């Protein structure tokens, strides 16, 4: 199945910027399909004018004169396709067209004002009445000589050629990042590029995705059987519902309760998928098996491995009971397929081994179907709502595969799990009551393995510490802690202490990511 078949697209050539995925998301938010290709792959890529309506060159950590590392398919400049270069991409256009790039005396990082020098289709409605616009910069090099036949459209204090254009060739360059939200009118600029310069039409919406994916699934799967591991999370829920709509009873979902889920989560999953949506659902309550295997294990990576391996074993056992299955459906997302970091050849170091169902069925000889593999998380959420899944499922905060096990540092036991489920539930309920749940990207309670002294009534207590974590984020790669009103935090703390026996102290985690991670283990 290939969602991108027959879709006109904006191709984004990635030079390793941390913002490349954001460019693709912004283009899609404007209703136009976009795909990312690594600059090394772009070297041999056959750009087809009928299919590619515009090209965006991303930013990146390199210097345009590092010829051994910067590989650019020069043919793109001869295709008669509009090109927009962003930051490093802007410098590439300038260099390739005969301009010069220099290392700046002053780096520009953060918000900078750009002043209008000339009118251009690219900057229609971009500048304010004083001919200025605030943009987000992150560069050391800058264009020091304008290429022939290019015009200067905008300048900042430390970079004269901040916005440039060659109107005949339809080549445009901006030194700043229109894709980040800090750039005031970044979306306006991208919109101008798409609709006024590339003259694209909208071809990307949740409805179009639903129609195309369900049709493609029908064509691909035919009358064959499919199994799917359902976790109750957004991705697997959307995959299950897409298959349900496409192939109905030929789908069987397997839901393994690890005993490490949030309070009442298993009931909600069974209620939604089995009772309401009438999906074939095999429910396996394996809570005791997981707790037995995790006995006395305190090492985070060991915990993750034990949970991942046992999950696979149980899933396989039940999958084998279903006869004549040909496919396994997985909720792989687009970011899983893109290797943005490889532009510099550097590997990001492994911080935690994330356990997903991915790669699970090698032994089982099943063919994979990945209906979400061209979608970003926010697109999956919108598609879920389009598929009439409840907001409760779709807008739910992310939850890690190893579940509560990595929210109880150190050794786990049933008592700790029970305490944590209650505390977490009170926390989340309070967030919902105060209208904060949807403003926060992820929130949870954790149980620290330390007991401290407290006083309740006139009695001394000696109980666990509950840690609260609530963060804002775009994609989970970086995060800031959420700024609560003191009263709300106070209220949450009271609720937990008064209602959950086993906890006598509540603390709030005020670290961002980096340096911390979102989960504790």
Residues making contact with ligand XMP (CB under 6 A): 352, 354-356, 398, 400-402, 442, 476, 513, 517-519
Q: Which is nearer to ligand XMP, 186 or 384 (CB)?
A: 384
Give the count of beta carbons closer than 10 Å to the beta carbon of residue 208: 16
Distance in angstroms (rounded) separating the CA atoms of residues 437 and 367: 38
SS3 261: coil
Q: Minimum Å distance from CB 400 to ligand XMP?
A: 3
| Beta carbon nearer to ligand XMP, 14 or 519 | 519
Residue 169 tokens, joined: 């060739």
Question: Any idea which residues carry the catalytic annotation?
Answer: 87, 177, 179
The answer to whether 247 touches 221, Cβ cutoff 8 Å, is yes
* 166 three-class SS: strand
Largest interatomic CA distance in the chain: 83
∠ CA 231-335-386, nearest 5°, is: 60
Q: Residue 84: name the closest of 229, 235, 190 by CA.
A: 190
**At closest approach, how far in Å is the CB of 293 from ligand XMP?**
16
Closest CB to ligand XMP among residues 506, 518: 518
* Shortest distance (Å) from residue 294 CB to ligand XMP: 15
By C-beta, is 233 or 371 nearer to ligand XMP?
233
The backbone region for 187, taken as left when phi is positive above 0, alpha when psi lies in -120 to 50, beta otherwise, is: alpha
Min dist CB 235 to ligand XMP, Å, is 9
Best CA proximity match to 394, nearest among 381, 376, 403: 381
- Taking alpha carbons only, the member of 262, 234, 241 closest to residue 394 is 234
- Min dist CB 309 to ligand XMP, Å, is 13
Q: Helix, strand or coil for residue 107? A: strand
Closer CB to ligand XMP, 205 or 473, in the complex: 473
Cβ 208 to ligand XMP, closest distance in Å? 28
Least CB distance to ligand XMP at residue 476 (A): 4
Sheet with 171-174: strands ordered across: 34-38, 9-14, 52-57, 83-86, 171-174, 163-166, 151-155, 100-116, 132-145
Across 481-509, b (16+ Cβ under 10 Å) vs e yields: bbebeeeeeeebbebbbeebebbbbbeee
Count of alpha carbons within 13 angstroms of residue 42, beta-carbon side: 24
Which residue's CB is nearer to ligand XMP, number 341 or number 513? 513
Query: Closer CB to ligand XMP, residue 335 or residue 502?
Result: 335
The DSSP-derived string for 419-475 is HHHHHHHHHHHHHHHTT-GGG-SEEEEEEEEEEEEEEETTEEEEEEEEEEEEEE-SS
Residue 346: burial class (beta carbons within 10 Å; 0-12, 13-18, 19+): exposed
| Closest by Cα among 401, 357, 358 to 260 | 401
Give the nearest distance from C-beta 315 to ligand XMP in angstroms. 15
Q: Which residue reads 């050849």 in tokens? A: 345
Quick one: 194 or 328, whose CB is closer to ligand XMP? 328
Residue with smaller CB distance to ligand XMP, 22 or 153: 22
Please state the closest distance from residue 386 (CB atom) to ligand XMP, in A: 23
327 HSE (CA, 13 A, CB side):
23
Q: State the CB neighbour count (10 A cutoff) for residue 56.
A: 29
């Amino acid at each position: 199945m290939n969602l991108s078949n027959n879709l006109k697209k904006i191709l984004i050539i990635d030079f390793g910027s941390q913002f490349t995925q954001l460019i693709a998301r912004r283009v899609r938010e404007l209703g136009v399909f976009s795909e990312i290709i690594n600059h090394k792959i772009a070297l041999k890529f056959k750009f087809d004018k009928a299919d590619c309506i515009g090209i965006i060159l991303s930013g990146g950590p390199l210097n345009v004169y590092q010829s051994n590392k910067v590989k650019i398919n020069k043919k793109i400049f001869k295709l008669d396709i509009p090109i927009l270069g962003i930051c490093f991409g802007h410098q590439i256009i300038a260099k390739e067209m005969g301009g010069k790039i220099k290392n700046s005396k002053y780096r520009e990082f953060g918000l900078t004002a750009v002043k209008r020098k000339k009118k251009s289709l690219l900057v229609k409605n971009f500048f304010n009445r004083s001919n200025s616009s605030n943009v987000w910069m992150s560069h050391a090099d800058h264009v020091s000589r304008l290429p022939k036949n290019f015009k200067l459209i905008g300048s900042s204090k430390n970079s004269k050629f901040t916005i440039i254009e060659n109107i005949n060739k339809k080549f445009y360059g901006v030194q700043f990042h229109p894709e980040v939200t800090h750039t005031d009118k970044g979306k306006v600029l991208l919109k101008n590029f798409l609709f006024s310069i590339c003259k694209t039409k909208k071809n990307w919406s949740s409805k179009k995705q639903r129609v195309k994916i369900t049709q493609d699934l029908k064509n691909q799967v035919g009358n064959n059987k499919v199994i799917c591991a359902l976790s109750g999370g957004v991705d697997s829920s959307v995959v299950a519902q897409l298959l349900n709509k496409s192939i109905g009873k030929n789908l069987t979902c397997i839901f393994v309760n690890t005993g490490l889920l949030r309070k009442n989560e298993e009931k909600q999953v069974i209620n939604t998928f089995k009772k309401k949506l009438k999906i074939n659902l095999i429910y396996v309550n394996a809570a005791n098996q997981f707790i037995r295997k995790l006995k006395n294990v305190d090492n985070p990576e060991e915990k993750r491995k034990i949970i991942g391996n046992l999950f696979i074993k149980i899933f396989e056992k039940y999958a084998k009971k279903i006869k004549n299955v040909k496919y396994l459906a997985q909720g792989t997302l687009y970011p899983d397929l893109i290797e943005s970091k490889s532009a510099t050849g550097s590997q990001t170091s492994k911080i935690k081994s994330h356990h997903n169902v991915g790669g699970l069925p090698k032994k089982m000889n099943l063919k994979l179907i990945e209906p979400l593999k061209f979608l970003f998380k926010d697109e999956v959420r919108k598609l879920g709502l389009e598929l009439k899944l409840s907001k409760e499922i779709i807008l739910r905060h992310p939850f890690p595969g190893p579940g509560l096990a990595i929210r109880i540092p150190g050794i786990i036991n049933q008592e700790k799990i029970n305490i944590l489920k209650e505390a977490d539930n009170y926390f989340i309920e309070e967030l919902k009551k105060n209208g904060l749940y949807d403003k926060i990207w992820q929130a949870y309670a954790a149980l620290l393995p330390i007991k401290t002294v407290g006083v309740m009534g006139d009695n001394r207590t000696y109980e666990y510490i509950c840690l609260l974590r609530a963060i804002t984020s775009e994609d989970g790669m970086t995060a800031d802690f959420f700024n609560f009103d003191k009263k709300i935090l106070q209220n949450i703390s009271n609720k937990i202490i008064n209602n959950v026996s086993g906890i006598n102290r509540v603390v709030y985690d005020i670290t961002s990511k980096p340096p911390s991670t979102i989960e504790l283990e």
